[in-house]
């Protein structure tokens, strides 16, 4: 079983902007790899070059941060798990945002990283606090569904299923899925196409 993810605390890193896509989180050229190792250094590679040291992922005050605070539609674009993997390898353990692209969100949960959503005003407030005081402590609490940052606190949301998977340590789905071998076989048995195409598959192999 995977580990329980309930309360993540540490320091925050604000990343302002809507529609930050997976090509920006990890540009395609870094996907030429057969493991996820080493992706951390490439996170936001192109944005960082363009920001000439001013990108939060480069700024000294945010080194060692583990909670990323973003705006709307974060992680849109491709299904590459390399995106959350790159963030995770950089050190991110939770993401707070106005909204997430669906596949990205699922990919985060699949590797034990909660993505919680908050009101735009809350996100703004968090980003402002973290800009003014990068050392502020920040906590994402999946039991209470709250975020605390300095003196500020607000409620956050997450789909109940995903929340439970994280808090009960069942976010690694593989084991659960494999426990259902008999129901899987029963489902296959009632799919009409399995009959006809397995024959084609078998004969053309």
Partner 1 sequence: MSARTLFDKVWDLHTVGILPSGQTQLFIGLHLIHEVTSPQAFAMLRERGLKVLYPDRTVATVDHIVPTENQSRPFADVLAEEMMQALENNCKEYGVRFYNIGSGSQGIVHVIAPELGLTQPGMTIACGDSHTSTHGAFGAIAFGIGTSQVRDVLASQTLALSKLKVRKIEVNGKLPPGVYAKDVILHIIRTLGVKGGVGYAYEFAGTTFEQMSMEERMTVCNMSIEGGARCGYVNPDEVTYEYLKGRDFAPKDAEWDKAVSWWNSLRSDEDAVYDDVVTFDAAEIAPTVTWGITPGQGIAVNEVVPVADTLPESEKAIAQEAYRYMDFTPGTPIQGTKVNVCFIGSCTNGRISDLREAAKFAKGKHVAQGVKAFVVPGSERVKKEAEAEGLDKIFLEAGFEWREPGCSMCLAMNPDKLQGTQLSASSSNRNFKGRQGSSTGRTLLMSPAMVVAAAIKGEVSDVRELMLQESVS
Give the span between the Cα atoms of 99 and 56, in whole angstroms.
20
The candidate with the shortest Cα–Cα distance to 134, out of 75, 73, 57, 71, is: 57
C-alpha to C-alpha distances, 69 to 15, 25, 45, 145, 155, nearest whole angstrom = 6, 14, 18, 16, 14
Sites for partner 1 among residues 114-153 (CB under 8 A): none
Sites for partner 1 among residues 152-191 (CB under 8 A): 159-162, 164-165, 168, 170, 172-174, 176-178, 180-181, 183-184, 186-188, 190-191
Give the span between the Cα atoms of 162 and 57, in whole angstroms.
27
Among 1, 3, 41, 49, binds partner 1 (CB under 8 A): 49
- Nearest approach, Cβ of 163 to partner 1 (angstroms)? 9
Among 6-14, 15-23, 52-60, 141-149, the segment contacting partner 1 (CB under 8 A) = 15-23
- DSSP calls for 185-200: HHHHHT-HHHHHHHHH
Q: In the stretch 65-104, what mask flags binding to partner 1 with x, by CB under 8 A?
A: -------xx--xxxxxxx-xx-------------x-xxx-
Q: Does 35 bind partner 1 (CB under 8 A)?
A: yes
Task: Between 12 and 75, name the residue whose CB sits nearer to partner 1.
Answer: 75
Give the span between the Cα atoms of 107 and 110, in whole angstroms.
5
């Amino acid at each position: 079983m995977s580990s329980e993810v309930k309360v993540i605390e540490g320091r925050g890193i604000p990343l302002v902007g809507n529609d930050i896509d997976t090509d920006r989180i990890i540009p395609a050229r870094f996907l030429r790899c057969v493991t996820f190792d080493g992706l951390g250094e490439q996170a936001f590679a192109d944005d960082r070059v363009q920001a000439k040291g001013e990108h939060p992922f480069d700024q000294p005050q945010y080194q060692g941060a583990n909670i990323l605070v973003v705006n709307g539609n974060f992680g849109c674009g491709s299904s590459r798990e390399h995106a959350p993997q790159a963030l995770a390898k950089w050190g991110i353990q939770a993401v707070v945002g106005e909204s997430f692209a669906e596949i990205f969100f699922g990919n985060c949960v699949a590797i034990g990283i909660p993505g919680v959503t908050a009101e735009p005003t809350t996100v703004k407030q968090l980003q402002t606090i973290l800009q003014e005081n990068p050392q502020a402590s920040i906590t994402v609490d999946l039991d209470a569904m709250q975020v605390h940052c300095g003196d500020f606190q607000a409620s956050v949301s997450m789909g109940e299923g995903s929340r439970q998977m994280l808090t009960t340590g069942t976010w690694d789905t593989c084991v659960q899925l494999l426990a259902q071998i008999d129901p899987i076989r029963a489902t296959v048995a009632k799919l009409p196409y399995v009959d006809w195409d397995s024959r084609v598959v078998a004969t053309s192999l």
